[in-house]
Amino acid sequence: MSGIGQAVRTPSAPLLHRAPARELGIEIIEGRIAVDAGMTLDDLQRRFGISRTVAREVVRELETLHLVTSRRRVGIVVQDRAGWNALHPTLIDWRLHSTDRPKQLRDLTELRHVVEPAAAGAAARLATVEARAALPPLAARMRELGEAGRLEEFMTLDIRMHRMILESSGNDLFAAMADLVEVVLIGRTQLSLMPQQPKPEALDAHEDVADAIWRGDTRAAQSAMTAITAEVLAAFTDAAD
């Protein structure tokens, strides 16, 4: 899964800053360091036993994610979540490894519910013949694995199918969503929100979207993908309730 789980790299301290940055980031995400709380480079050096150069790299990474800002005569100040760089893969990874994980997965699922139907409709118009031809047999194999309860193999193909559709949409921003969709699909399984056997209607919808894209039916592709993302969104809503 490219991007997700990879911390920002810098040439001067490619490794030493990553663990303290992640630890501080998760504390900010979980609210254990309050908004507007201040710290200094000296604080970071003492806490983590790191050099001033590494402490600066820690701050630079947190600033990249908009978790903190540096203010003259004030120091390093924690920012409100409204300003966080929410789509940055590193921040998504940290949120998934924090108590904020359920909300992160729901946020990504709501984004999918908006983006993926549009991407499926675009793929029905723009996908290559090779991509169109690959989707129906892929959906059929997913049905076999799902009905057999082979969830790990099912999830691998599910990720492949959604990635193919997003990347066949002709929209670079939709294609860039593929990693985020993968995070949601994996997270749903890890949070035990995936039934041992996928629901028949979910399997039907995957076959429907594959067939619609194969036939070039934009409306049918959008409708089938809406059914898929709505089912996932309902699962997170039920779990929250």
Going 118 to 121 to 122 to 128, the CA torsion angle's sign is positive
d(CA 96, CA 112): 17
Q: According to CATH, what is the number of the domain 18-83?
A: 1.10.10.10
Farthest CA pair distance, the chain: 63
The two structure tokens encoding residue 216: 């070039």
Q: In the prediction, which pLDDT does 11 show?
A: 39
Q: In the prediction, which pLDDT does 3 show?
A: 43
Do 125 and 218 form a contact (C-beta atoms < 8 A)? yes
- Domain 100-240 indexed as CATH 2.60.120.260: no
- Phi first, then psi, for residue 164 (nearest 5°) are -60, -40
Q: Give mean pLDDT in consecutive 10-residue pieces for the chain, a chain of 241 residues.
A: 41 72 97 94 96 95 96 90 92 90 87 96 97 98 95 94 97 92 80 79 96 98 95 74 58
Q: In the prediction, which pLDDT does 180 show?
A: 84
Amino acid (1-letter code) at residue 226: T
d(CA 185, CA 123): 20
d(CA 166, CA 224): 14
- E-assigned strand segments in the chain: 38-39, 68-71, 75-78
Virtual CA dihedral for 94, 96, 102, 103, nearest 10 degrees?
40
Q: Where are the domains of the chain?
A: 18-83, 100-240
Q: How many residues does the chain have?
A: 241
d(CA 196, CA 189): 10
Does pTM top 0.85 for this prediction?
no
